[in-house]
Amino acid sequence: MTVGVLGPDSAGLVRADRGVLKPISPALMEDPGSGLDYGTRPDRMPGYLVPNDRFFIRSHAPTPRVDPAQWRLRIGGAGVHTPVSYTYDELWHRFPLVSYVRTLECAGNRRVLLGEELGQTFDGTQWGRGAIGTAEWTGVRLRDLLEPARPTAAAREVMPESLDQNHSRRPMPLAKAIADDTLVALAMNGELLPADHGFPARAVVSGWLGAASIKWLSRIEVSDHSLHVPWNTIDYVLIGPRFPAEGSARGPAITTLPVASLVELPWPARLRPVPQLVRGRAFAGENAVAAVDYRIDNGPWRAADMGSPVTSGAWVRWQFGWTPDPGDHILRVRATDDQGHTQPDSSEWNELGYLQSSVLRHPVHVNPAQSLRMSSGG
Ligand SMILES: Nc1nc2c(c(=O)[nH]1)N[C@H]1C(S)=C(S)[C@@H](COP(=O)(O)O)O[C@H]1N2
Ligand SMILES: [Mo]
């Protein structure tokens, strides 16, 4: 791809020569084959936060290179009295900096598993379980940036827009935009925002589908009417018999994500018949995870231990001890949120293959031969 400067809204912006800039280690990340998207291997998440080197990437266009000295974040639209423009330095120095630990999950996470369950292949990024991650995001509250623009009494929606080739944008109601944990993030896990994750600034819309957290911000529109853009009418909507189309939208736009869980083991997992901890994560969008239960084969459901503080908008890490018998097993995990929603036993079809959240049947093979080698002192 040739390197060149993009349009006038994005001075200083040069196209990436390849899709993503961070080195992708196949040991840490799965490649669903699009060239722009990479999932985190669930068995390579070392702690509560996912390190930046392996945090999943979902990009609809190559990562742009942006010169922060030339970059501006503009806020305007019919819903403000005074359009404003901020430099990168102003974002760092003019407003209180805040940090929130929040989970990002792509609405298409587990699409391949949804297809396996429903006996079909869905178009779109072929995600396994890795399009989810949690980071500590540091930046400025979106509401602090909106205030100097003086939103009008009629202000209705707030839409972050990107400067990359795709010009991604996704509106949210004003109430969500001014929430404590709706951010314009400048740093991720204590480092400047990496290029692939939105440098110089990205939105973090807590608990919502990843697509709302627009990377490479250029402008934020405040409207006095509801906004219809591709990402809330054609993509990131639920299309199916139970989901009514509304106006120009093919179905209801996805906002908060449903409760779901993840086992930190490869699929299928290979274990030895020795005492061990099985660990995982559960996430419930804008809600908090209240409980995680697990079941081995046809045994009883049992409660897993919650190993991390329970907050809305961020996953919990859970664990249980297990000494598996040799042979093949099915491990099921079922998380419940603080509003009483529990992962269902089966998934509902929707045309674009979003929001897989049913209880997965995780295959586990336990090999007796390896344990004999281990116990013979090798
Ligand atoms: N500008 C821009 N922002 C974007 C996207 C994109 O393609 N372009 N992808 C969205 C989607 S679909 C997801 S799931 C998240 C992924 O964020 P990450 O790549 O930092 O993990 O970014 C969102 N923000
Ligand atoms: Mo996504």
Residue-range domains of the chain with CATH: 260-366 (2.60.40.650)
197 lines ligand 1 (CB under 6 A): yes
Query: What ligand has the least distance to the C-alpha of 163?
Result: 1
Query: What ligand has the least distance to the C-alpha of 161?
Result: 1
Nearest atom in ligand 1 to the alpha carbon of residue 217 is 1
Is the Cα torsion angle 236, 240, 246, 249 positive or negative in sign? positive
Cβ neighbours of residue 169 closer than 8 Å, sequence gap 6 or more: 159, 160, 161, 162, 214, 221, 229, 231
Neighbours of ion ligand 2 (CB under 5 A): 58, 106, 210-211
The 8-class DSSP code of residue 50 comes to P
Task: Name the band, by pLDDT with cuts 50, 70 and 90, for residue 3.
Answer: very low
Nearest atom in ligand 1 to the alpha carbon of residue 107 is 14
215 lines ligand 1 (CB under 6 A): yes
Q: What residue type is 218 in one-letter code?
A: S
Please check the confidence at residue 210 and state whether its pLDDT lies above 60: yes
- pLDDT score of 374: 52
Q: Which pTM does this prediction carry?
A: 0.93
Ligand 2 geometric centre to CA of 353 (Å): 12
The 8-class DSSP code of residue 131 comes to S
Which residue in 201, 151, 200 sits closest to 177, CA to CA?
A: 151
Average pLDDT over residues 307-316: 89
- pLDDT score of 282: 98
Query: What ligand has the least distance to the C-alpha of 168?
Result: 1
Average pLDDT over residues 171-182: 98
Average pLDDT over residues 272-285: 97
Ligand 2 geometric centre to CA of 260 (Å): 16
216-270 pLDDT, tens digit per residue, is 999 999 999 999 999 999 999 999 999 999 899 999 999 999 999 999 999 999 9
- pLDDT score of 371: 46
Query: What ligand has the least distance to the C-alpha of 34?
Result: 1
Please check the confidence at residue 17 and state whether its pLDDT lies above 90: no
- In angstroms, the CA 227 to CA 170 distance is 9
Ligand 1 geometric centre to CA of 260 (Å): 20
- In angstroms, the CA 126 to CA 131 distance is 10
Please check the confidence at residue 12 and state whether its pLDDT lies above 50: no
Cα-Cα end-to-end distance for the chain: 52
Q: Which stretches does DSSP call E strand in 123-199?
A: 132-141, 157-162, 172-173, 182-188, 191-192
Long-range CB pairs of 116-123, under 8 A, 24+ apart, other chains included? 117/346, 117/347, 117/356, 117/358, 118/347, 118/349, 122/352, 122/353, 123/352, 123/353
Average pLDDT over residues 125-145: 98
- In angstroms, the CA 31 to CA 29 distance is 7
Q: 3-state class of 182 per DSSP?
A: strand
| Residue having the nearest C-alpha atom to atom 1 of ligand 1 | 215
Task: Name the band, by pLDDT with cuts 50, 70 and 90, for residue 369.
Answer: low
Please check the confidence at residue 378 and state whether its pLDDT lies above 70: no
Ligand 1 geometric centre to CA of 191 (Å): 18
Please check the confidence at residue 13 and state whether its pLDDT lies above 70: no
Ligand 1 geometric centre to CA of 237 (Å): 16
Average pLDDT over residues 321-345: 98
| Residue having the nearest C-alpha atom to atom 12 of ligand 1 | 211
